[in-house]
A = this chain, B = another copy of it.
């Protein structure tokens, strides 16, 4: 094969990989949205087989040779193809060290752990989940040792979600947050709290669904290629750039949970829908990193969605759908209520200000677990101790404590930090956007085309062509700086709580 033929083979490989990932993601989506409960085992069987096939696709002698050759000649390739080769090479180098049985066993263990986590959470019984968590941690340690022998285990896991990320970089980031946010939260906690009584509901689910529809239209997400469904935990999943699924959860006694879930997931969705057409079948056709992805959802959710101009834009619709609940309430009241800052138990319900501290708890626990300084059996007590220390609150039970998140059950250790990092990225990206786009005017007109265009131009279209570092540099004209995030929060919440 000459170079041209090799490139054709590479593109064919990626097309096949895309189809397998579509099937695999659909299995996951189906398990979350539709599957009858008795089908858990058979779903797990199939997922195990398909994962094994994806592994074989990446790690097989023919493709290894092809990729090895292309990698050696990468300087001769166009930019996109070179980046594809680099990405696949990195993945292959990593995966070829992990035995296939281990990949399949990990997939199956995660499915079983997830199932038992659900039971444990429902019955508030950590002991149901503990042995599965122990097994997953042991597996992840082995996995880290396979892909990065001699390296630090937790750094290796962080790197799975945010390439190049290390504890050495995350520690100062969290230190900055701790230093600045903890006192701010204390001040806010002592100030007078806004009235939130009108957010207590009940809110008719059908009317909430109409609000979801409306908000997606306002944001301008392409419903022809993106649909909304309901799951226990909201998420976004991409099958192709023309098929993105977002999910939400409706609560009768909470209007903002669904409202901001839809804005958040639409932010993720819009990113996937707007990746360049040239990346349609490419391994690069997805969000750059976990934290960059989160920066796009948080940008819409917090920086735009929880702003006063956005609240003014959507409030007439809220009032139309819930006239009784919103009687006598103004858009400003609504804005203050959806921005209430108050330490709470559940990360996904946390406000913009306290959110990062929830993540910090998880980061510190993960670090210590993988440094073998903490055992699974001590996890609930340590969780509760840190919530008291950082957020000042008592955790009443494990269901609302250590069992609240699905991530560990899915084997996603090292994922949480990217939530905080992503939110911090968005502060900086939002600042850059405001120098080019009049976001307040967009809110006034109810037309976010300029916002979408700017984000597409700067972030969306590039997919994984650039690293997080490069994207931030290209978009903001500077390296990542957590100070933007801290400044933004200080300004917003000092103003909100000044009156």
Judge whether A95 is part of the interface by a CB distance below 8 angstroms: no
Which of the segments A34-42, A292-300, A393-401, A445-453 contacts the partner chain?
Answer: A34-42
Residues of B close to A225: CB separation below 8 A: 36, 38-39
Which of the segments A1-9, A45-53, A311-319 contacts the partner chain?
Answer: A45-53
Residues of B close to A18: CB separation below 8 A: 45-46
The majority secondary structure among interface residues of chain A is helix
Q: Which residues in chain A, 427-468, are within 8 Å of chain B measured between CB atoms?
A: none
> In angstroms, how far is the closest chain B Cβ from the Cβ of A172?
42
Contact for A45 among B41, B46, B240, CB less than 8 A: B240
Number of identical monomers bound together in the oligomeric complex: 2
> Are A36's CB and B240's CB within 8 A?
no
Residues of B close to A42: CB separation below 8 A: 22, 239-243
> In angstroms, how far is the closest chain B Cβ from the Cβ of A228?
10
Q: Could you say which of A24, A26, A226, A229 has the most chain B C-beta atoms within 10 Å of its C-beta?
A: A26
Judge whether A16 is part of the interface by a CB distance below 8 angstroms: yes
Q: Which residues in chain A, 249-287, are within 8 Å of chain B measured between CB atoms?
A: none
Judge whether A27 is part of the interface by a CB distance below 8 angstroms: yes
Judge whether A224 is part of the interface by a CB distance below 8 angstroms: yes
> Are A50's CB and B227's CB within 8 A?
no
Contact for A37 among B37, B41, B46, B224, CB less than 8 A: B224
> Are B46's CB and A22's CB within 8 A?
yes
Judge whether A233 is part of the interface by a CB distance below 8 angstroms: no
Judge whether A200 is part of the interface by a CB distance below 8 angstroms: no
Q: Could you say which of A26, A46, A223, A240 has the most chain B C-beta atoms within 10 Å of its C-beta?
A: A46
> Are B30's CB and A240's CB within 8 A?
no
Residues of B close to A245: CB separation below 8 A: 34
> In angstroms, how far is the closest chain B Cβ from the Cβ of A173?
38
> Are B19's CB and A243's CB within 8 A?
no
> Are B34's CB and A19's CB within 8 A?
no
Judge whether A86 is part of the interface by a CB distance below 8 angstroms: no
Residues of B close to A191: CB separation below 8 A: none
Residues of B close to A223: CB separation below 8 A: 36
> In angstroms, how far is the closest chain B Cβ from the Cβ of A20?
8
> Are A242's CB and B19's CB within 8 A?
no
> Are A19's CB and B49's CB within 8 A?
yes
Judge whether A15 is part of the interface by a CB distance below 8 angstroms: yes
Q: Which residues in chain A, 200-240, are within 8 Å of chain B measured between CB atoms?
A: 222-227, 229, 239-240
A contact residues vs B (CB 8 Å cutoff): 15-16, 18-20, 22-24, 26-27, 30, 33-39, 41-43, 45-46, 48-50, 53, 222-227, 229, 239-243, 245
In the A-B complex, the 6 residue pairs with the closest CB atoms: A39-B243, A19-B49, A42-B240, A38-B224, A38-B225, A23-B23
